[in-house]
Each structure stands twice: as C-alpha cells, then as structure tokens.
C-alpha cells in the first residue's frame, strides 16, 4: 500500500505558498507507516512548524497502469477526508536547496485519514469540505476547484506508477494551511457535517 499525494492542486494554495500553479500534476509519496487513523496526533520533535493540509482522499480498488481518463473513476471506490501533515520549517529548507520533500512530508503519522465512504455510481463528493481548528474555520474547498480533477490525476499518476488496491490518493489542499499547536482540536467537515475530530498533542 502506498499513499500518493498531489501538491499544488488548488490555485489559492499555490499562491499562498508563493508557487506557480503547475502546468501538470505534482505528486510525491508517503509510506504506509505515515498512515494515521486515530484521534490523536503528536507533534514530532524535529519540527517547530507542523502544518495542517485538509484534503479529499480517494481509495484505489484495483490494479491499474496507464489508465485512461475515461476509465479512471472505475479505479477508486471510496472517499474520505485526510490531513497531509507537513513539517513546513523543514520543507522550506528543502525547497530552498531544491531537495526532495520526504523528510517534511513522509514521516510517521503524517497522513491522517478518516473512515471511508463508498462511492456509488461514480459520483464524487462535490459539496464543501472544510477544516476547523478550535471551532474556527481555517480551510474550505470544493473538488471542482481542483486544478486537475481526480480522473485526470489517476490517469496521469498511472503513467508512471502502477496503482494497486488499497492505495490512497491525497488530492491536494485548498488555501488556509497553518500551524497546529499542542491542545488544538481539528475537525474535518463535509457539507457542514463533522467527519472527524482529532486532538494535537
Ligand atoms: Mg498536501
């Protein structure tokens, strides 16, 4: 099982990162040990600027390589909300040196994921998803605001990497990323309904 993460897939987030909107999808990986499904996240001792990035997540249901865009949605069967936790201080240093991001992105428990909901009739979640920190909205987004839609992402990534059942695709974060602190309560919402609650410690 692997976790495929899409970077800079919302124009407003690329802007807040002072990055150009990409002309083709940007992706990176997190290992299986990054997956976290509990209700607590501990800030790792190697960062002083751990950021939240709320993202729509899709679960791959069968093996595929060089998948066509028209067939792509047959390769996912469930969606959820997740947080691509990012050690922003480390990522800033890596970016400045032109180095890979894994140290800032792929650490243990950096890929929080809430329970999955089955996708029926290939209808993807199109309502607002959001993150609240201590009961205040900090991020809001819609699938339709993605620079590259899920079918395109699946097709694109599968040109390079075989997708397998159980793989997760984090599809990028909208604007509003920010630091989490010990004691914070993060809540993920879809269509104003709370999907998850996690505490930072
Ligand atoms: Mg992200």
Alpha helices in the chain (DSSP H): 11-16, 88-97, 102-105, 150-157
Domains, the chain, ranges and CATH? 3-128+138-181 (3.90.850.10)
Confidence label for 20 from pLDDT (cuts 50, 70 and 90): confident
* Whole-number Å distance between alpha carbons of 112 and 55: 10
In the numeric block, which tokens belong to residue 159? 């040109």
Ligand 1: centre distance to CA 159 (Å):
21
* Whole-number Å distance between alpha carbons of 156 and 85: 24
Q: Is residue 144 predicted with pLDDT exceeding 90?
A: yes
Confidence label for 147 from pLDDT (cuts 50, 70 and 90): very high
Ligand 1: centre distance to CA 181 (Å):
19
Ligand 1: centre distance to CA 9 (Å):
9
pLDDT at 22: 92
pTM of the model: 0.97
Q: The tokens 């890929």 sit on which residue?
A: 111
Ligand 1: centre distance to CA 43 (Å):
17
pLDDT at 47: 98
Instruction: Count the alpha carbons within 13 Å of 38 in the hemisphere toward its beta carbon.
Output: 11
pLDDT at 19: 87
Q: Is residue 30 predicted with pLDDT exceeding 90?
A: yes
Residues 6 or more apart from 91 whose CB is under 8 A from it? 101, 104, 105
The mean of the pLDDT values for the chain is 97
Say if CB 103 and CB 94 are below 8 A apart.
yes
Ligand 1: centre distance to CA 172 (Å):
5
* Whole-number Å distance between alpha carbons of 172 and 145: 11
Ligand 1 is an ion; residues with CB less than 5 A from it: 53, 84, 173
Confidence label for 64 from pLDDT (cuts 50, 70 and 90): very high
């Amino acid at each position: 099982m692997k976790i495929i993460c899409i970077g800079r897939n919302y124009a407003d987030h690329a802007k807040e990162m002072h990055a150009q909107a990409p002309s083709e999808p940007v992706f990176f990986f997190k290992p299986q040990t990054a997956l976290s499904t509990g209700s607590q996240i501990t800030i790792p001792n190697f960062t002083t600027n751990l950021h939240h990035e709320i993202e729509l997540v899709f679960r791959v249901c069968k093996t595929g390589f060089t998948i066509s865009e028209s067939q792509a949605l047959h390769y996912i069967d469930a969606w959820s909300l997740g947080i691509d936790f990012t050690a922003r201080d480390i990522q800033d240093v890596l970016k400045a040196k032109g180095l890979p991001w894994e140290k800032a992105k792929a650490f243990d428990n950096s890929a929080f994921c809430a329970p999955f909901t089955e996708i029926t009739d290939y209808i993807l979640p199109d309502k607002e998803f959001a993150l609240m920190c201590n009961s205040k909205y900090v991020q809001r987004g819609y699938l339709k605001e993605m620079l590259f839609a899920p079918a395109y992402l699946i097709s694109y990534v599968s040109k390079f990497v075989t997708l397998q059942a159980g793989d997760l695709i984090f599809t990028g974060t909208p604007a509003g990323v920010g630091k989490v602190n010990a004691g914070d309560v993060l809540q993920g919402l879809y269509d104003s309904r709370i999907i998850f609650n996690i505490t930072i410690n």
